[in-house]
């Protein structure tokens, strides 16, 4: 013990050692302070999302609309980022950090299906197992019990090149999709649309694009069966291309729904059966009767069809209360790739029947009805200008008012290509709003450009001016200082 004390005293008495130890201590303290400072700054940066986005499209920066939504948010919303094993979407993750920092009601977490398989089971009743992929977002509000899944299909806007016949990315919609999802899951009351099943109608796979569009506008889509569900007269009923007829009991249910003020959106294809007695009775109740056959445009009426294909109709939008907003905003370009026409019955009491979309000069092919490949006009084929969409206002004896929109094509509602390249999506939303009586939620958030614009003279002129003007100003300043000195 005595030797240890002596060694220690000798060690303390060594001046070089004392100075060296002090330097090491100072260096250690400096390093510790720097590490702590970096850690604290990193935490502050992540909490408040202080990192700037200086990219050409600023895809991770929130706009004013999103900031207003987040500021007004009152319910807690959690975002599960289900990330793939092979990397993650850096742009989306950075945007999530900014949403997390912008509102105390937004929280985010990274998840893995492999590490957390219970995540699928937890949301299976709300969103369905098949919607969760290995690279998606689950936006969930516990208070409302609503959830929405966003995947890569929700993040991009595509443009169609008519010359190449190919789609290309035109913009990113990360912010728009995410903000609309937050509004959807946290909203107090969401307008509902009912979609009928049980008669060979279109399936969920067939209507995926339509449902995505409706949900993005904060509508709830509820699939109903006449045998299992009670129809809600406050929510319009969509009947999409039924293949089997209604029973008498089902027709009575639909009639009771109408008499309670229920509204219909009915779409039928030219290839659907024409001998469905009770389905046709429902149409006649609204003053509409299907004309069997395929509508073919006359070749000389070039403006009424698309790309030298006279069965791809481009119907004319007529002015009605429902369509006036579309016409005023020049959003009246639609495409019907194959259509069924209708005849309007004008002799029904308390019923106003109006054509919404009408063909140019056309005929109804009897060759198609006979199973022939030839759709050219045959003797006896009916010619004229045919309505391919009809709007009906019907008042019952007790004063209850019911509306119906009947379409002769279903692709205009369900096809994503038509949504992106025509005004089909605007038409669908306007018709639904007219039936529902409630305005859709569609945020005015402009997609961020996917491709950097090339440099043109207008882009580089400020840089050229700065590059020339700055040295010139420095030279002038130098001359102003040096010339007087030289003259002395």
Rounded CA separation 201/406 (Å): 15
Overall size of the chain counted in residues: 488
Residues 187-237 pLDDT 10s: 877 788 999 999 999 999 999 889 888 887 778 899 999 998 899 999 999
The structure tokens listed for 446 are 């402009």
Residue 180, pLDDT score: 83
Backbone angles phi, psi at 467, to 5 degrees: -65, -30
What kind of architecture, by CATH, is found in domain 191-436? 3-Layer(aba) Sandwich (3.40)
Each residue of 68-102: b (16+ CB within 10 Å) or e?
Answer: ebbeebeeebbbbbbbeeeeebebbebbbbbbbbb
- Are the CB atoms for 354 and 310 separated by under 8 Å? no
So where are the chain's domains?
59-188, 191-436
Q: Which residues contact 183 (CB under 8 A, 6 or more apart)?
A: 69, 218, 441, 443
This prediction's pTM: 0.67
Tokens of 228: 């299992």
Strand partners, 277: none
Q: Are 295 and 360 in contact (CB under 8 A)?
A: no
Tell me whether strands 106-111 and 77-82 are parallel, antiparallel or unpaired. Answer: parallel
Q: What are phi and psi of 315, to 5 degrees?
A: -70, 155
Q: Are strands 156-161 and 294-297 parallel, antiparallel or unpaired?
A: unpaired
Name, of 163-167, 284-288, 421-425, 457-461, the range with top average pLDDT.
Answer: 284-288
Checking if the pLDDT of 152 tops 60, the result is: yes
Give the angle subtended at the CA of 211 by the CAs of 205 and 213, to the nearest 5°: 130
pLDDT at 154 over 90: no
**pLDDT score of 283 more than 90:** yes
User: Which tokens in the block code for residue 283?
Assistant: 């149409």
Judging by beta carbons within 10 Å of its beta carbon (0-12, 13-18, 19+), is residue 192 exposed, middle or buried? Answer: middle
Q: Which of 125, 128, 77 is nearest to 103 (CA)?
A: 77
191-436 and 59-188 share a CATH fold: no
Tokens representing 387?
A: 């309505």
Give the pLDDT confidence score for residue 6 in this predicted structure: 66
Residue 111 has pLDDT above 60, yes or no: yes
- Please indicate whether residue 347 or residue 200 has the higher confidence score (pLDDT): 200
CB 316, CB 385: distance < 8 Å: no
Q: How far, in Å, CA of 434 to CA of 254, rounded?
A: 20
Say how far apart CA 157 and CA 420 lie, in whole Å.
8
The residue with tokens 């975002």 is 79
Q: Are 448 and 59 in contact (CB under 8 A)?
A: yes
User: CA 107 to CA 78: how far, in whole Å?
Assistant: 5
Instruction: State in Å, rounded, how far the first CA of the chain is from the last one.
Output: 83
Question: Average pLDDT, stretch 50-57?
Answer: 56
Task: Look at residue 379 and give its three-state secondary structure.
Answer: coil
Determine phi and psi for 371, rounding to 5 degrees.
80, 20
DSSP state of 21: H
Instruction: State the pLDDT confidence band at 166, using cuts at 50, 70 and 90.
Output: low
- Quickly tell me which residue has 């742009």 as its tokens: 91
Q: How far apart are CA 168 and CA 347, in angstroms?
A: 51
As beta bridge partners, residue 167 has: 160
**Domain 59-188 -> CATH class:** alpha beta
Q: What is the pLDDT confidence band of residue 447, given thresholds at 50, 70 and 90?
A: low
Sorted by sequence, the CB contacts under 8 Å of residue 120 that are 6+ apart come out as 113, 129, 132
Mean of all residue pLDDT scores within the chain? 81
What pLDDT is attached to residue 455?
46
Task: Select, from the ranges 46-55, 146-155, 380-389, the one with the highest average predicted confidence (pLDDT).
Answer: 380-389
Q: Under a CB-based contact definition with an 8 Å cutoff, are residues 432 and 195 in contact? A: no
Residue whose C-alpha is closest to residue 396's, from 387, 404, 405: 404
User: With b meaning 16 or more CB within 10 Å and e meaning fewer, what string describes 372-401?
Assistant: eeebebeeebbeeebbbbbbbbbeeeeeee
Which residues, 6 or more positions from 204, have their beta carbon under 8 angstroms from its beta carbon?
211, 223
- Assigned token pair, 365: 């092919």
């Amino acid at each position: 013990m005595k030797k240890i004390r002596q060694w220690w005293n000798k060690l303390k008495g060594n001046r070089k050692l004392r100075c060296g130890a002090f330097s090491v201590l100072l260096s250690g303290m400096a390093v510790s302070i720097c590490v702590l400072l970096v850690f604290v700054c990193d935490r502050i940066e992540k909490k408040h999302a202080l990192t700037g986005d200086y990219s050409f499209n600023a895809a991770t920066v929130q706009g004013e609309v999103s900031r207003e939504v987040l500021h007004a948010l009152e319910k807690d919303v959690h975002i599960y980022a289900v990330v793939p094993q092979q990397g993650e979407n850096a742009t989306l993750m950075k945007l999530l950090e900014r949403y997390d920092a912008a509102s105390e009601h937004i929280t985010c977490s990274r998840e893995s299906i492999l590490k957390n398989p219970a995540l699928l089971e937890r949301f299976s009743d709300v969103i369905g197992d098949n919607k969760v992929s290995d690279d998606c977002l689950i936006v969930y509000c516990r208070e409302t019990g609503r959830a929405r899944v966003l995947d890569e299909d929700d993040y991009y806007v595509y443009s169609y090149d008519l010359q190449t016949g190919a789609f290309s990315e035109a913009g990113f919609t990360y912010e728009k999709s995410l903000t609309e999802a937050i509004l959807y899951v946290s909203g107090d009351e969401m307008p509902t649309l009912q979609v009928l099943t049980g008669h060979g109608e279109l399936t969920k796979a067939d209507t995926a694009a339509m449902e995505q569009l409706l949900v993005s506008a904060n509508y709830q889509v509820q699939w109903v069966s006449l045998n299992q569900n009670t129809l809600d007269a406050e929510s319009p009923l969509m009947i999409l291309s039924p293949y089997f007829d209604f029973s008498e009991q089902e027709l009575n249910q639909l009639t009771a729904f109408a008499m309670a003020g229920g509204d219909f959106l009915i779409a039928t294809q030219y290839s659907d059966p024409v001998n469905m007695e009770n389905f046709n009775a429902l149409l006649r109740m609204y003053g509409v009767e299907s004309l069997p056959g395929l509508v073919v445009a006359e070749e000389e009426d070039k403006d009424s069809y698309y790309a030298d294909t006279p069965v791809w109709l481009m119907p004319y939008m007529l002015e009605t209360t429902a369509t006036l907003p579309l016409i005023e905003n020049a959003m009246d370009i639609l495409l019907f790739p194959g259509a069924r026409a209708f005849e309007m019955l004008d002799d029904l009491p308390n019923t106003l029947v109006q054509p919404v979309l009408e063909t140019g000069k056309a005929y109804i092919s009897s060759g198609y009805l006979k199973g022939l490949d030839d759709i050219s006009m045959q003797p006896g084929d009916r010619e004229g200008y045919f309505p391919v969409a009809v709007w009906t206002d019907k008042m019952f004896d007790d004063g209850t008012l019911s509306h119906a929109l009947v379409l002769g094509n279903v692709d205009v509602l369900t096809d994503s290509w038509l949504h992106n390249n025509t005004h089909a999506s605007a038409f669908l939303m306007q018709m639904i709003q007219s039936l529902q009586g409630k305005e859709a939620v569609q945020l005015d958030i402009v997609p961020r450009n996917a491709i950097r614009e090339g440099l043109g003279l207008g882009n580089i002129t400020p840089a050229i001016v700065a590059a020339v003007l700055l040295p010139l100003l420095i030279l002038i300043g130098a001359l102003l200082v040096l010339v007087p000195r030289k003259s002395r």
